[in-house]
Structure 1
Amino acid sequence: MHSAIMPLHSLQSLRAVAALLVLAAHASQIDSRFFSAPVSSGQWILGFAGVDLFFVISGFVMVYITHNKPRGDAHFIGRFAYARFTRIYPVYWFFTALALAAYIAIPGALNRDLADLQIWQSFTLWPIEGDLPVLHVGWTLTHEIYFYLAFTLFLALPERWLPALLALWGGLVIAGSVWLQGLPAIGALIVNPLTIEFILGAAAGMLICSGERRLARAALALAALWLTATAWLIWPENAEAFPAGWARVAAFGVPSMLIVYGAISLEMQGSLKPPGWLVILGDWSYALYLCHLLVLSGLVRVWVSALPDFGPMASLAFLIVAMALSIGVAGAAFRLLEFPVLKATRRLGDRLFEGPHRPRRAPAAHEDPAVQAGQTGSRDG
């Protein structure tokens, strides 16, 4: 029997931070667009670094939950892939359907024409050429699916090969992004520099699984300096100039890796205990990530049509209400939709993969340890 996976409150808390950063960035953009005297002026554009933190977290989790697990075992690989894809798709489909319904019911409500929507690509998370999915944040989930597929293939090989596989993958991404230009959408995805952030997270996972946790405080201090320098370089020139490509990986991927490594190492050493409310927000982070654009888009249109624009106070009031409402809707979506769906897919997975001759798992190797820290501990992430 394989050892149980240690719940990680710090990882779940970092998920909360990532989702809140993205929420703040989008709220700031809407504030700047719809209000005459926006208090944010788009400056929270740096909140999009939450996406980079999510990617690093994903890389860490893939390594951590498969450490010392049976590589090359078809049953384990199948269960792992099933857990990953059922974690992403069902709840995403629900919110994509809501967004599509909004496009149909209220033409122009979300600033796009119905004829321009890439519907099947949106629901499957297939890469889209020069456009966004129906639910805009779905572009990041396309990257996640790519990460999951690649890592699922790695599970067919011995774990000792993982560093070499990740190095080879990273080398191919670097070479492809430099020498291969004008690729179709699927090719551009494969060599996208953001893939390196997943590999950085995997590297953090390998360090922690090897027992190397002594550099936690140094890593966090370096991350703080790194992010301060990034903000100083970006903000004075143009608050809306968010870096792209390799500049983005350097600006936010590297410090995200340092933060993930440092926070988790400190928790494992008993030196860090995140507050419970942040862990709960981490439980809600996926629902918040998926629902917040719908909430913000609906709220701002009701707001500007029903309430006068009374300067900066209107902007500030909108931001407060928008953030609070988005979090509230996410909490309800987690309780009423996401958590029941996860339980149902887990039960189905038990029937599909356990079989009459397989013992009950304790716990399943595919499960994400971070979410065992919150709520009932039965949620797969």
Structure 2
Amino acid sequence: MSAASQVRAKTADGVEAVHEPVFQRRSRNRNVQWLRAVAALFVVFYHASGHLGAVLGDDRFADIFNHRFGILGVAIFFAISGALMADILKTTPAPNFLIHRILRIYPIFLIASVALPFVFWNNPGLDMRALSLIAIGQNGNYRLMVEWTLVFELAFYVALFLVAAAGLARRLEAIALLALALSVGGTLVSPDNQAQIAVYVTELPFMSATAAFAGGLLIPWLVRRNVFHPALAGLAVAAAIAIPGTDSVGMGRLLAGVSAVILVGLAISFEARSADDSVPQRVATKLGDWSYALYLCHMPVISFTYNHLPFTGAAAWTVAVVGALLLAIPLGMLDLRLYAWLRKRSDRSTPESFRRWAWIYVGVYAIVAVIFLFKN
């Protein structure tokens, strides 16, 4: 480990720790961006195909881009997020970590939640429960139809903040293994509950969808030990192929988690031989940059295309997918610029300000989550 690649940071208990990030090389970040682009396309293809059958009665594409694509796409997103957070948490003060995550998730989500329903359906109605992205079960009108993964993401970030604030960041791998055990145990004990996507905060640890994120937290630790041999790619493909249909969502998500962790681990471990980017590579990198925007906007585009435009069959599917990709370009550019600007401004704040706002957010999150437990 070279001194240049080491990062020194203080944990919440004031103990200085040395950590070697696994994302310090540009080629590794680029590989992850490409994988993020693939995951976003998997989700778009799955939703476009499934809704083509549901709305227009055409199941041709659903026979190809079936349930497996949606489950695997989300698992890859969660595994990437877990791997990134494992690195960031050990090199960033806990309050800064949480505030940066809030600034990354909420601004473009709020813009999309307000603008897209108004543009596509002339319906500006808002539901603060849904906009909160707090785990409150099936309460709230989720306008973009994909918010459930963001609810999981915010819960992950709050949990990691509490781990770091308690001085346990150096025990992150053990905590990740515990989270993985709870996810697998919950799936085995309550398999019928795993199809739920609108969950309460008390249900989150026992959902199969959390396995990919928990596994992602282990990726940097595994990468530093050279665990991800190229031969594991075959296991990742086998796990993806083995994902069952909708009758066993929980097992499907666990298998997707295995596949996603291996794929992300290989992407981070692999070093590109050339630093030069071809046009397809640059396009893939940009799509990775805009993947969050694509995720937010694709369902409104699909719904509008199938319900309001005079297309059927392959033409409708193509218009829906291409339309989502085109809308993701300006929305993605806005997302990146807005986050960069907000983060730059936030980083001028004092540590006390970061700490105060982080705990305010966690306090509000906890109060709202508990209230809806009793309302249920």
TM-score w.r.t. length of structure 2: 0.75
* Residue in structure 2 matched with residue 155 of structure 1 by the alignment: 164
| Contact in 1 for aligned 2:228/2:262 (Cα 8 Å) | no
1:322 Cα deviation from its structure 2 partner: 1.7
CA distance in 2, matches of 1:104, 1:18: 27
- Match of residue 126, structure 1, among 128, 131, 134: 134
Are positions 1:135 and 2:144 aligned together?
yes
| Paired letter, 1:97 | V
Are positions 1:165 and 2:175 aligned together?
yes
Deviates more, 1:180-189 or 1:284-293: 180-189
| Contact in 2 for aligned 1:216/1:266 (Cα 8 Å) | no
| Contact in 2 for aligned 1:217/1:262 (Cα 8 Å) | yes
How many equivalent pairs are there?
320
- Match of residue 281, structure 1, among 278, 287, 297: 287
Aligned to 1:155, what secondary structure does the other structure show? helix
1:277 Cα deviation from its structure 2 partner: 1.4
* Residue in structure 2 matched with residue 294 of structure 1 by the alignment: 300
When residues 193 and 36 of structure 1 are mapped into structure 2, their CA distance, relative to the original with a 3 A threshold, is closer
Identity level (%)? 28
- Match of residue 334, structure 1, among 320, 325, 332: 332
When residues 325 and 351 of structure 1 are mapped into structure 2, their CA distance, relative to the original with a 3 A threshold, is same
1:168 Cα deviation from its structure 2 partner: 2.8
1:192 Cα deviation from its structure 2 partner: 1.7
| Contact in 1 for aligned 2:135/2:200 (Cα 8 Å) | yes
* Residue in structure 1 matched with residue 358 of structure 2 by the alignment: none
When residues 271 and 333 of structure 1 are mapped into structure 2, their CA distance, relative to the original with a 3 A threshold, is closer
| Paired letter, 2:31 | S
Give the gaps of 5 or more residues in structure 2.
Answer: 8-20, 353-376
When residues 122 and 130 of structure 1 are mapped into structure 2, their CA distance, relative to the original with a 3 A threshold, is closer
Aligned to 2:65, what secondary structure does the other structure show? helix
CA distance in 2, matches of 1:242, 1:106: 35
Deviates more, 1:95-104 or 1:278-287: 95-104
When residues 57 and 272 of structure 1 are mapped into structure 2, their CA distance, relative to the original with a 3 A threshold, is farther
- Match of residue 13, structure 1, among 29, 34, 47: 34
* Residue in structure 2 matched with residue 252 of structure 1 by the alignment: 256
* Residue in structure 2 matched with residue 51 of structure 1 by the alignment: 74
* Bigger RCO of structures 1 and 2 (CA < 8 A, at least 6 apart): 1
- C-alpha deviations, 1:202-221, integer Å up to 9, x for none? 1112212xx22353302212
CA distance in 1, matches of 2:317, 2:111: 26
- Match of residue 47, structure 2, among 20, 26, 29: 26
| Contact in 1 for aligned 2:75/2:212 (Cα 8 Å) | yes
1:105 Cα deviation from its structure 2 partner: 3.2
CA distance in 2, matches of 1:102, 1:128: 28
- C-alpha deviations, 1:322-344, integer Å up to 9, x for none? 21111111011122x21221122
Q: CA RMSD in A?
A: 3.2
Are positions 1:87 and 2:97 aligned together?
no
Give the gaps of 5 or more residues in structure 1.
Answer: 71-75, 108-113, 235-240, 308-313, 356-381
When residues 333 and 35 of structure 1 are mapped into structure 2, their CA distance, relative to the original with a 3 A threshold, is same
- C-alpha deviations, 1:187-237, integer Å up to 9, x for none? 1223222112111111112212xx22353302212112222333xx64xxx
Deviates more, 1:1-10 or 1:253-262: 1-10
CA distance in 2, matches of 1:295, 1:242: 28
TM-score w.r.t. length of structure 1: 0.74
* Residue in structure 2 matched with residue 203 of structure 1 by the alignment: 218
1:128 Cα deviation from its structure 2 partner: 3.8
1:287 Cα deviation from its structure 2 partner: 0.3
* Residue in structure 2 matched with residue 96 of structure 1 by the alignment: 113
1:352 Cα deviation from its structure 2 partner: 1.3
When residues 191 and 140 of structure 1 are mapped into structure 2, their CA distance, relative to the original with a 3 A threshold, is same
CA distance in 2, matches of 1:129, 1:333: 28
- C-alpha deviations, 1:259-293, integer Å up to 9, x for none? 11112111378899882211110001000000111
| Contact in 1 for aligned 2:56/2:306 (Cα 8 Å) | no
| Paired letter, 1:220 | A
